[in-house]
Each structure stands twice: as structure tokens, then as C-alpha cells.
Amino acid sequence: MNYKIIDRETYYRKGVFRHFSEDCKCSVSMTARVDVTALAAFSKKAGSKFYLNFLYILSKVMNSRDDYRMGYLWQTGELICYDVIHPTQYVFHENTETCTPVYTEYSEDYDVFYAGALRDVERARETREYGLDAANHPNWFDASYIPWLSYDSLNVELPDGHLYFAPIVNWGKYREENGRLLMPVSVRLNHAVADGYLIANVFRLLQREVGVFAGR
């Protein structure tokens, strides 16, 4: 785990960061639908899992710029940017109706990531322990699939004033609309390090990367 310390005096969001980390501590979340028609077709043709393919695309997007890899060291009050962040995915156990967090390492190499993520999921299916270990996984972001519903909005609430900078991303079941498969995706980021533009940009990048991935 490597990171760089951000100089708050030269940070390009200096004023915004100060306001939303001191005066008005809050988060921002958005939900929008991503067209995954091409991704679903690719996954079916390749015989690969749509879920893991999207997880790869999401992880690539969240690592594409510093703003999505920010962190806060509360012990020293330092603002940092991780070199890389990894997805915490989840396995749902039907018989207990509980889930197990799965810490998967991101690799830009799709084949390496896919094999690792698949292996992690299979291992998690063998346990019913919750197994959350956030203290030892500071540069992991929450990536949770909600397969039971094609929802219209979703909000993740954190305690007021909590400076938690890791992204929290959820996505639901895709549905057909006018011949296209549209999937709801929700993105939550702390307002101190991200605003409406940066969150909206996640969806733009997701849509672009879906096209690039499906065209491989």
C-alpha cells in the first residue's frame, strides 16, 4: 500500500476541501442508469460473468484519477492519495440471507483481475463469517451488487462529520428499456474531495469503458 500526501495549500480543491471538511461535512450520492447492452452481449458470447466484468470496469474507472483514490489519516489529519484502490465485493449466502465481504486486488490486466476475483468469490462461498477487516484494507472501496431490484435511487448514509473518502458504489439489476439494457448505478463520495462534476464523471467514464471493453 503506497500513497502520496496531498499538500493542502497547493491542492486544487483547497477552498472546497476546507469548507466541506470543516464547515459543512457531508457526502454526495447520485444514481444514474448505464447502458450495459454491449457488456451483456460480450459476457454471454465470451462465457464470462457479467458481474465480474462490470466489477473490472468499475475498478478501472475508480483508479483512473486521483480524485477517486483519496484517503484521510485521522491519526495525523493528513489528506492522502493512494496509488491504487481495490474493490470490496460481496458474496450473498441464500441459506442464511447474509453476506461476506470479499477483498479483491485490482489489476489493470483483465485476465489477472478476473481470475483473482473469481477465486476470491469461490473462497467466500465456503464461509458464513462476515469477516470485515477494514483496518487492514484502508485502500479498498465498497462495490456492492444489489441483484434483486432495478432501483431508481439509493442513498448511503454515513455519520455527520465523518471524513470517509473512499468511494461507495452500488449497482442493481439491469432492465430492458426501448431495446437497451439499462443498469442503475449509485456512486457516493465525500463532498470534501468530490463534487457533482466528479461524481457525474464516474458515469461518463463507466459508459465509455463499457464500450471499450465490449469492443475488445
pLDDT, tens digit (0-9, with 9 covering 90-100), for 46-79:
999 999 999 999 999 999 999 999 999 988 999 9
Class of domain 3-214: alpha beta
Domain boundaries in the chain?
3-214
pLDDT, tens digit (0-9, with 9 covering 90-100), for 68-121:
999 999 889 999 999 999 999 999 999 999 999 999 999 999 999 999 999 999
pLDDT, tens digit (0-9, with 9 covering 90-100), for 141-150:
999 999 999 9
Structure confidence at residue 160 (pLDDT): 66
- What is the value of pTM for the model shown? 0.96
CA distance linking residue 138 with residue 71, whole number of Å: 8
* Neighbouring residues of 170: CB distance < 8 A, sequence distance ≥ 6: 144, 145, 146, 154, 156, 185, 186
CA distance linking residue 135 with residue 195, whole number of Å: 27
Model confidence band, residue 158 (pLDDT cutoffs 50, 70, 90):
confident
Task: Select from 99, 17, 112 the least CA-distant residue to 60.
Answer: 112
CA distance linking residue 100 with residue 87, whole number of Å: 13
For residue 7 the three cell numbers come to 499538500
